[in-house]
Homo-oligomer: A and B are copies of this chain.
Amino acid sequence: LAEGEAPPRPPVVHYHMNNVTTTSDPVGNRESILILTPLARFYNEYWDNLCKLSYPHDLISLGFIIPKGREGNAATQQLQERIAITQAPTNKNRFASITILRQDEEPVVLQDEKERHALSAQKERRAAMSRARNALLFTTLGPTTSWVLWLDSDVVETPPGLIQDLASHDKPLVVPNCMQRYFNKDKDVMDIRPYDFNSWIDSPTARALGDKMKPDEILLEGYAEMATYRTLMAYLADASGDTHREIALDGVGGTALLVKADVHRDGAMFPAFPFYHLIETEGFAKMAQRLGWHATGLPNYFVYHFNE
């Protein structure tokens, strides 16, 4: 076979699922990983970090789902420009494969700040995100995928060892702490602050709120009128603490999230409907839990979200 040429697809393929391992040594065991990104806006730093991942790139496949419309078109073009260089046949470090899905739907656009923060708008937006994540997941997960890394396109700073670091915990779901760099005016220095509030430990208050809700209502973090008293991983961050510290989580965010592919294969997906009053990534954690898979958070292992 010539360089870059794949063997002809055999008409019958037979997979033994026990050969698809997910271990704490995924490089040693040559485990395939699928990195999935819902993509509305493209960030060069995101792509730079993908290219710098120290995990063997021939074991990495990438999948994107991009909405219809102007913003989606721009993101597609920027993505393709970077792909053209990274996937050049002459680049020994290129990825195993890349799948781009263009949706038939425009993104849920929320006009102003007020509307964007209304509960009903959040519900609609996160339901649309759920559908996008599911479409991406259901169509790209293959029989030989060991791991799925969910990574948002606006996560602009991640360590090159991200995959190995997260996988070394050997957990079904593992979530780093997603922070944000900002200029701290009081201290007159660059500083970091919590960003993703979807990774949390449940509280009796939140459960009681859920019990009193109508079937279709959802719990959301960050609304004063709905104080949940959950323990938010974002607030447990300790920049000088052990980066391997683990905590058990009940809800997870999707900015960066490593999942054993078997969790998805068992049926865990991103509910677009209220599931135990939770949707999207938080509902996913709950669904995984119902399937016997528990989430782990790494409060002191940081990735960083873009700051506009």
Contacts and interface: CB of A to CB of B under 8 A. Distances in A.
A240 to B, nearest CB: 40
A5 interface: yes
A105 B265 CA distance: 14
A11 B272 CA distance: 31
Given A13-B100, A100-B13, A130-B267, A141 B143 contact: no
Interface stretch (A117-125, A132-140, A161-169, A192-200): A132-140
A224 interface: no
Nearest to A215: B276
Interface stretch (A15-23, A25-33, A150-158, A180-188): A15-23
A4 interface: yes
Given A101-B143, A267-B269, A272-B266, A135 B17 contact: yes
B143 A17 contact: no
A207 interface: no
Contact of A103 (B6, B17, B98, B131): B17
A273 interface: yes
B139 A97 contact: no
A114 interface: no
A100 to B, nearest CB: 5
Contacts of A4: 8, 11
Nearest to A139: B143
A222 interface: no
A89 B11 CA distance: 9
A295 B16 CA distance: 34
B12 A87 contact: yes
Interface string A288-299: 001100000000
A89 B8 CA distance: 13
Interface in A38-63: none
A99 B135 contact: no
A271 B6 CA distance: 37
B83 A135 contact: no
A131 B263 CA distance: 10
B104 A266 contact: no
Contacts of A89: 11
Nearest to A290: B273
Interface in A258-288: 262, 264-267, 269-273
B139 A99 contact: no
Interface in A49-101: 83, 87, 89, 94-95, 97-101
A272 B273 CA distance: 18
A63 to B, nearest CB: 9
- Most B CB within 10 A of own CB, among A18, A142, A266: A266
A14 interface: yes
A11 B14 CA distance: 23
B138 A98 contact: no
